[in-house]
Structure 1
């Protein structure tokens, strides 16, 4: 009795398995190919180029900062393989069974005719009609349909093609930089080329007494990868002795001065070795007198005569 019961359960399980597996009409498999690149960061460092000379002799300095990375780059060709099948829908059997019968009859007729025609008929008539017909007659299987096809990922194959080391050195573009001058710390920003423009006669350093500050400490950090670096830019004794006088020459009130005092300011800045600041003040005064051509010409002549500077005539104001 037990043996008969066990046999019945086994037969039922086998039939159920065949029934379920028979419901899906398998189609030809499909594959997708793509290339994948993996980039592994090996090293991340920052570089600060304080420029030349190593000691700051003039108020202005351009400091260049670079973000340097080393990567291990691996290229793969990836193939994804999919099993495709037509899912079973029972209601389709209402028209597939009659069509299947017609297809079987047609396929048999085509095969008989193919014998007479010495095998000249295409396989789509002699073989495909038969396959379609029997799939249609099977009540537990739908015929193949690419329009209703579904797919399952069956496997992924990866083949490594290349493995190399790449280096990158990019400007620290529009990123923060910390500059420490004595007890004060300033948060500055580089330009899009990764250049930090320092000017001890301009904000924020102009508001600080720098006579006793011997160096600037420049610090850069990338918190994402914990990359950090600091560089020291010493300030010469000579420059520190000139900063207060240069600041007064540039920022003290100009409008109440005579032309001779304007010329003296430009000339004195040049004598201090600050030619860039002298030229900037000169252009500011030319712009200030734009609406007074007579005063402007007086200033230009005095610059040439008393300061020995060659100044191009800006021409009439528009």
Structure 2
């Protein structure tokens, strides 16, 4: 009884070994690559409110930059893989016959190689025999690169370089909070990181800015704690002009007489708001483009009463 059990156990182990087989190991494969690590060391924001520090005109371009300091480390990474051909029992149906042929052919090639004084290549004299014995082995398949598998055997990293890098980029198309008195407005910079402030335009146009002596500009990066503030002083003289200038610019134009149009342009110029005067002037020229007679009357009176020479930029 003991012998039967032992024989059955041994037969079972041999059967399991035969069915599972052995992997046919192939030469190791290596991969080489370079990897770069960038570690952020410092991040700061900078607001340049421009000159002069006191706002005397309603328009100002504010430039905003973000500055970063990185520690950059370069590595050379080498990965080595163990490669093998997984065992599939059914392949022995054709590998064994082919193995017999390969062994016979390999032996014949070696005999011929002796006669030819070793002139035959190793792929004939050695590889055929190696292939043949692998094919004859019932517990191993022959090598196959086409269906090979691999496992990571070793990972090595070699540091090549470590350096500091600095960047200064515009705060492009990002939000800026502008606090005017008790009201906070959110504005957006352009792609060059420039914020175009205009106290006569939205969102300031509907706010009474006469008691607002300072504008506080704030920017912050939501990804970390980088933030900064800057203060821009609004002069008392400018605050006294804003309400009148707003009326001159935004009151209805179409129901006004030409004389009042000229007065509004001239008054803006007298207030020292030359840019706003020119913009209103061009708006009125555009408004009268389809009425050449009215446009000509406006241009004539503009020259006569305000001493301003203007022309329709769209005319030939």
TM-score under structure 1 length normalisation = 0.90
The SS at the match of 1:206 is coil
Q: CA deviation at 1:310?
A: 2.0
Q: CA deviation at 1:22?
A: 6.9
The SS at the match of 1:205 is coil
Q: Is the 8 A contact 2:286 2:312 kept in 1?
A: no
Taking the TM superposition and a 5 Å limit, the aligned residue runs for 1:259-278 are 259-278=258-277
Where does residue 176 of structure 1 map in the other structure?
Answer: 175
Counterparts of 1:33 and 1:230 in 2: how far apart (Å)? Answer: 47
Taking the TM superposition and a 5 Å limit, the aligned residue runs for 1:149-298 are 149-298=148-297
Counterparts of 1:115 and 1:283 in 2: how far apart (Å)? Answer: 102
Counterparts of 1:156 and 1:199 in 2: how far apart (Å)? Answer: 59
Taking the TM superposition and a 5 Å limit, the aligned residue runs for 1:36-115 are 36-115=35-114
CA deviations on 1:34-65 (whole Å, 9 max, x unpaired) are 22111111111111111111110000111111
The SS at the match of 1:211 is coil
CA deviations on 1:241-281 (whole Å, 9 max, x unpaired) are 11111111112222232222211111111111111000000
Where does residue 5 of structure 2 map in the other structure?
Answer: none
Counterparts of 1:302 and 1:134 in 2: how far apart (Å)? Answer: 109
Q: Is the 8 A contact 1:180 1:186 kept in 2?
A: yes
Q: Is the 8 A contact 1:211 1:241 kept in 2?
A: yes
**Shift in CA distance, 20/57, structure 1 to aligned 2, threshold 3 Å:** farther
Counterparts of 2:204 and 2:28 in 1: how far apart (Å)? Answer: 71
Q: Is the 8 A contact 2:178 2:217 kept in 1?
A: yes
Q: Is the 8 A contact 1:45 1:67 kept in 2?
A: yes
CA deviations on 1:219-243 (whole Å, 9 max, x unpaired) are 1111211111110000011101111
Where does residue 129 of structure 1 map in the other structure?
Answer: 128
Return 5+ residue gaps in structure 1 as ranges.
1-10
Q: CA deviation at 1:182?
A: 0.5
TM-score under structure 2 length normalisation = 0.91
Q: Is the 8 A contact 1:72 1:165 kept in 2?
A: yes
Counterparts of 2:38 and 2:303 in 1: how far apart (Å)? Answer: 62
**Shift in CA distance, 226/287, structure 1 to aligned 2, threshold 3 Å:** same
**Shift in CA distance, 219/316, structure 1 to aligned 2, threshold 3 Å:** closer
Where does residue 4 of structure 1 map in the other structure?
Answer: none
Counterparts of 1:312 and 1:284 in 2: how far apart (Å)? Answer: 12
Q: Is the 8 A contact 2:21 2:89 kept in 1?
A: no
Q: Is the 8 A contact 1:293 1:316 kept in 2?
A: no
CA deviations on 1:181-224 (whole Å, 9 max, x unpaired) are 11111111111221111111111111111111100000111121
Counterparts of 1:211 and 1:106 in 2: how far apart (Å)? Answer: 104
Q: CA deviation at 1:19?
A: 7.9
Counterparts of 1:314 and 1:113 in 2: how far apart (Å)? Answer: 97
The SS at the match of 1:219 is strand
Deviates more, 1:156-165 or 1:182-191: 156-165
**What is the alpha-carbon root mean square deviation over aligned residues?**
2.4
Deviation above 4 Å: which 4+ runs of structure 1? 18-22, 313-317
